[in-house]
Structure 1
Amino acid sequence: MITTQPTCHDIDEPGLIPLDEALARILAAVPAAGGYERLAIEKARGRTLAEAVTAGFNVPAQTNSAVDGYAVHSSDLPAEGTRTLKIAGKAYAGEVFNGAIKPGQCLRIMTGAMMPEGLDTVIMQELVEARGDAVVIDSRHKSGQNVRQAGEDIRQGQTILHPGKWLTPPDIGLLASLGIPEVNVSRKLRIAIASTGDEIYSIGTHPGTAGLYDSNRYSLLAALDRPDIEVINLGIVEDKPEALRQAFEQAGQFADAIISSGGVSAGEADYTKTALQASGQIGFWKVAIKPGRPLAFGQIGNAVFFGLPGNPVAVLVTFYFVVLPALEKMLGMQTKPVAPVFLARALEDLRKKPGRTEVQRGIIEQDQNGEWSVRSTGQQGSGVLSSMSRANAFIILEHDRGSVKAGEWVSVKPFAGMF
């Protein structure tokens, strides 16, 4: 019998780390990048807040009407039957009504207008009967209804946003409502990306008979096209140990992270891992995930290094499941919109070996009863990039799970909220 080496099909391969463990080790190792910049709030969407924001005043600043209607004394609300109240004036939003409203009277009031002293209830205009300079109200109303109290939303001195908050459009509106024009946000991460492999060619060149176009770098450029990241495109690095070492060492002087694709397997011409060992520190390079098993993680100079596989689907899977969480930690991100994982019923059999996390590409649908189902996009090879393009979700088959029969529940992660 001949002596063989471990392959990507071996579940018990020495040094193979479960995905959860690999991610935990990466998150424990990557540092916060540090540093911040001050931005106008209209430029701050999609950035990570680097300071606590407190309210300088109450919101609403004054007690006001929540509807168009009539402001009344709650003591004038009839317990039964009806009551006629004389209209003593009008109040508009943005103006102050200085008159006094006596018991037995009411005030015509518009949405957002300040409530005069003594008036504590508003009746919607649709629920009264107008009779000249008076209105008739009935007994269906409650004290305090349709009134927004001063500070009901935000109280003066309250911390409304905490450091680490990923700023969304509502957050920007909230800052504007408090008259805050600028905030401190975490500085942009500087991410250097490179493709390796003498068989790949840039768009605009001719790959010849044995070559292929570089899709990985463009996938990563698109994935990293965010307000909080600055990309340094290293292009295609010559697949030679010295060329890789020089490129990575130079990038390690100015980048926060380096992401390369290709050259991390055990092949004779896979030099990325060799360059990482020569130039920096390697943490691990084999993860129990399919696709994406050959994934190198380490440090070069000042930069965290991620050596992703060369196959295009594996690049995207490992980016979203491993690299992106690490980049978000480096940005100091504590809260962000959740990309949910939920259960869907498999519409077909799915092959799977226990002992690794498998990420397949699927199409999820919801029926009229609200139940989710998922079907495979077909061929699941790590080089079949069209399987990602056709999909709208990842099917996540957990580490210890085996093959799935049609009708069983599986975990799915929609692309919406991720891409």
Structure 2
Amino acid sequence: MADSLMNVDDALGQLLKAARVLPEATARPLGKALGNILAETPVAAVTVPPADNSAVDGYALNSRDASQPSLPVSQRIAAGQDPLPLEPGTAARIFTGAAVPEGADTVMMQENATLEGEEVVFSRTPEANQNIRPAGQDIQAGETLIEAGTRLEPWHLGLLASAGLPQVRVYRPLRIAVLSSGDELVTPGQPLAPGQIYNSNQTMLQSLVSAAGWEPVPFETVADTFDATRNALQRASEEADVIITTGGVSVGEEDHIRDAIQSLGQLNLWRMAIKPGKPLAFGHIGDTPILGLPGNPAAVLVTFLMLGRPFLRCCQGESGLTTPAAYALPLGFAVPRAQSRREYQRVRCRQLEGRQWLEAASNQSSGVLSTACWSDGLAVIPENETLAVGDTVLYYPFSSLLYG
């Protein structure tokens, strides 16, 4: 029954509520901290810039002397020099980034100045405070630089460097074990026996983990026995921060993951109102969370992106999580029949006469991965709704889901 299925938003809420920061914090040089999650809230020890400085090449003067027809040039100030106080009734030759001397309150850019012998003549009237970057314009000493839980981008690292910090405390990347079980699964490159298929989920999930900046912990395909499954899960719980499994959580005689997890820890099995995918397992082996995804590859992709990745980001220590960027775009196809499950269709964003619209992949089967390669994102088809061509839905580009 549809009312027995858990809403996708409720499932995500339960996952995020259960998440806790797993990896320890460590100090890293700024040059090696890109993409890491900040484990502290650094405070500026210095003011940036430390003194008023010139925004242009030109001449520093006091605006009270603007009525003079010309001013003698009393000193030359390059960036990095400590200037002398400005002599009254004079101007100082100054360059971009150089400290403004005491007594000067404006800088006239050189394009509006003419040097005549040892005096400078201005073609415009200087105004107070023009072309001066004041001390502390960027950072004040004692100010919080970046909040803990922030994913460090290049501009964050630049800001930390400008405050003189050589290193920062960050969480090490999550170690994530990806386990697949099934005697039918074969590692690519090996010959296939009758009834066997190549294991695509292992490669795809390890790549999704790597794309997020986490560390996949390699595991071989687990044989379809209870003892092999239990031993692999036990070892994974000792070597990884999080375990992700695919398939094997139903009640079939050859589905051992569910029983093995329950023998080692605890497991909740949710039936979700999501398509592709429906079963999602979540539990713990000791202190190690385990996330059991469906077995079909398209369902693995959707459930990892929409549910697994947000959970893992919280476990990594990332705070202030926002939903990946989505765009309201019109459909180029109809959805004539309402469904009880929220559907994430593989689509491609098209351009026609300056307008964008969504084209659906030809095959939305949960076992078909080729249409994900044709697509560039997912369109959200709300549960219990019919849609006509031109109706607007949310569209998540894969780039947003992977890196947003």
TM-score (norm 1): 0.88
Provide the secondary structure at the position in 1 that maps to 2:207: helix
Contact 1:339 1:416 in 2 (8 A): no
- Give the 3 Å change call, closer, same or farther, for CA 124–293 of structure 1 in structure 2: same
Q: Sequence identity of aligned pairs in percent?
A: 36
Give the length in aligned residue pairs: 401
Provide the secondary structure at the position in 1 that maps to 2:99: coil
Instruction: Give the counterpart letter for 1:385 in structure 2.
Output: L
Contact 2:85 2:103 in 1 (8 A): no
2:78 to 71, 92, 114: 92
Q: What is the distance in 2 between the residues matched to 1:70 and 1:235?
A: 70
Q: Does 1:66 align with 2:55?
A: yes
Q: What is the distance in 2 between the residues matched to 1:253 and 1:69?
A: 65
Q: Does 1:46 align with 2:32?
A: no
- The more displaced of 39-48 and 180-189 is 180-189
Provide the secondary structure at the position in 1 that maps to 2:145: strand
Q: What is the distance in 1 between the residues matched to 2:135 and 2:230?
A: 63
Aligned-pair distance for 1:228? 5.3
Q: What is the distance in 2 between the residues matched to 1:227 and 1:376?
A: 26
Specify the alignment match of 2:2 in structure 1.
11
Contact 1:122 1:144 in 2 (8 A): yes
Q: Does 1:388 align with 2:372?
A: yes
CA deviations 1:143-194 (Å, max 9, x no partner) are: 2122111111001111102221111111111122222112111233221111
Instruction: Give the counterpart letter for 2:238 in structure 1.
Output: Q
Specify the alignment match of 1:253 in structure 2.
238
Q: What is the distance in 1 between the residues matched to 2:179 and 2:321?
A: 28
Q: What is the distance in 1 between the residues matched to 2:315 and 2:42?
A: 21
Q: What is the distance in 1 between the residues matched to 2:163 and 2:245?
A: 44
- The more displaced of 182-191 and 211-220 is 182-191
Q: What is the distance in 2 between the residues matched to 1:151 and 1:249?
A: 54
Contact 1:94 1:113 in 2 (8 A): yes
Q: Does 1:414 align with 2:397?
A: yes
Instruction: Give the counterpart letter for 1:229 in structure 2.
Output: W
- Give the 3 Å change call, closer, same or farther, for CA 320–113 of structure 1 in structure 2: same
1:378 to 338, 362, 381: 362
Q: Does 1:281 align with 2:272?
A: no
Contact 2:339 2:383 in 1 (8 A): yes
Contact 1:313 1:385 in 2 (8 A): yes
Give structure 2 stretches of 5+ with no counterpart: none
Q: What is the distance in 2 between the residues matched to 1:67 and 1:196?
A: 65
Contact 1:216 1:315 in 2 (8 A): yes
Q: What is the distance in 1 between the residues matched to 2:383 and 2:349?
A: 22
- Give the 3 Å change call, closer, same or farther, for CA 352–303 of structure 1 in structure 2: farther
- Give the 3 Å change call, closer, same or farther, for CA 367–83 of structure 1 in structure 2: farther
Aligned-pair distance for 1:199? 1.4
Provide the secondary structure at the position in 1 that maps to 2:218: strand
Instruction: Give the counterpart letter for 1:54 in structure 2.
Output: V
Specify the alignment match of 2:9 in structure 1.
20
- Give the 3 Å change call, closer, same or farther, for CA 264–339 of structure 1 in structure 2: same
Q: What is the distance in 2 between the residues matched to 1:66 and 1:368?
A: 45
Q: What is the distance in 1 between the residues matched to 2:135 and 2:79?
A: 15
- Decide which structure has greater helix share: 2
Give structure 1 stretches of 5+ with no counterpart: 1-9
Instruction: Give the counterpart letter for 2:162 in structure 1.
Output: S
Q: What is the distance in 1 between the residues matched to 2:272 and 2:172?
A: 31
- The more displaced of 220-229 and 409-418 is 220-229
Contact 2:23 2:173 in 1 (8 A): no
Q: What is the distance in 1 between the residues matched to 2:198 and 2:184?
A: 8
Instruction: Give the counterpart letter for 1:263 in structure 2.
Output: G
